[in-house]
Amino acid sequence: MIRMICAITLSAATLASAGEELRPALESSYHAWRDAIMRRDPATWQRVTAAHRRMEVKNRIVSEKRAFPAAVFDLPAPPPAIGGLKFLTAKQNGPTAKASYFGKIDFGIGGDPTDNLLVLSFIRGGAGWLYDRADFVNLAALPEVRKELAAGSLKYLEETPEAQPSGVIPPTPVEARPAKTIAKVYVFCPGREVRVQVNKISHHRFANAKEAEIVIGGAVDGPNEVQFATKKLDGGTGTEAMTIRVYLMSETPGVQPIKAFEHQIAEGGAVKPFGSANFVVDAAMLAKLAGK
């Protein structure tokens, strides 16, 4: 069901007009954020980025034992310019907004970009709109959507919840201490959603996935707590195998990660909806990670 921003049915012309009125402020925010990234300007980045996003970025960097704020600007590719893209629409829902663009989105990594979708998200702060995030949608597997957007149809955006501003400002995470031991949580969960929490500060969601994510705050010396919750997804059978692991990562070249925690269910096995367990980081583990 499409979430409506207001109770009145608006004409397409009125929606377009509203988008154009919102567009300059959102684009100004994005340009300021992108310029800060390109110039490696931490003061401006701090000023124009939404509070929860700033803390998420900082927490991830210190959990990887990289330098903050210098590592903010060590991106795999520069953020794309939007000047050459086709503006589709901008929508506001309370203190949140999204602006959508279509065209050849260039991340500066070479090749010949094709027409795809870029959705920029913003949060309203005390001094105006602040940049939150960008979502790139590769339309290679959606040729009909690509044709619709090229023709100016916004049907796909209107029917996609992720393209609509939620109206809710995400909470700012608790600030994480710099990691002593880098850790990653790995989950294999076909047909299921798995939520994992490590030491009550690192929160993760995996859906029908085989992925690993950095543990915020890293692993601590001594006991570490892992909590998880599982549920079957639509299309799942409830009999699929499932794995949850936490690995400790070495900073010594050539030293393999240590599997510190594992919860594994064979195909057809009983899966608990909730679980909690501990793993311990001891002196022997730390010595092994150091290659001793």
Residues in the chain with pLDDT values less than 50: 1-18
Q: Looking at the domain covering 12-163, what would its CATH class be?
A: alpha beta
Beta-carbon contacts of residue 32 (< 8 Å; ≥ 6 apart): 44, 48, 131
Beta-carbon contacts of residue 162 (< 8 Å; ≥ 6 apart): 119, 135
Q: How many CA atoms lie within 13 A of 238 on its CB side?
A: 6
- Characterize the bridge pairing of strands 115-125 and 96-104: antiparallel
The residue assigned the tokens 């996935």 is 209
Question: Hey, which residues does 121 pair with through a beta bridge?
Answer: 98, 133
DSSP state, residue 25 = H
Q: Which of 209, 18, 23, 104 is nearest to 31 (CA)?
A: 23
Q: What's the confidence (pLDDT) of residue 111?
A: 78
Question: Hey, which residues does 66 pair with through a beta bridge?
Answer: none
Q: Give me the phi and psi of 225, to 5 degrees please.
A: -100, 135
**Delimiting residues of CATH 3.10.450 domain(s) in the chain:** 12-163
CA distance linking residue 194 with residue 240, whole number of Å? 13
The residue assigned the tokens 């040729």 is 143
Query: Judging by beta carbons within 10 Å of its beta carbon (0-12, 13-18, 19+), is residue 90 exposed, middle or buried?
Result: buried
Classify each residue of 149-186 as buried b or exposed e, where b means 16 or more C-beta atoms within 10 Å of its C-beta: beeeebebbeeeeebbbeeebbeebeebeebebbbbbb
Length of the chain: 292
Q: What's the confidence (pLDDT) of residue 292?
A: 86
Peptide bond before residue 42 is cis, with ω within 30 degrees of 0: no
CA angle 202, 47, 83 (to 5 degrees): 100
On whether the CB atoms of residues 207 and 193 are closer than 8 A, the answer is yes
CA distances from 85 to 25, 31, 106, 118, 137 (A): 17, 14, 10, 9, 14
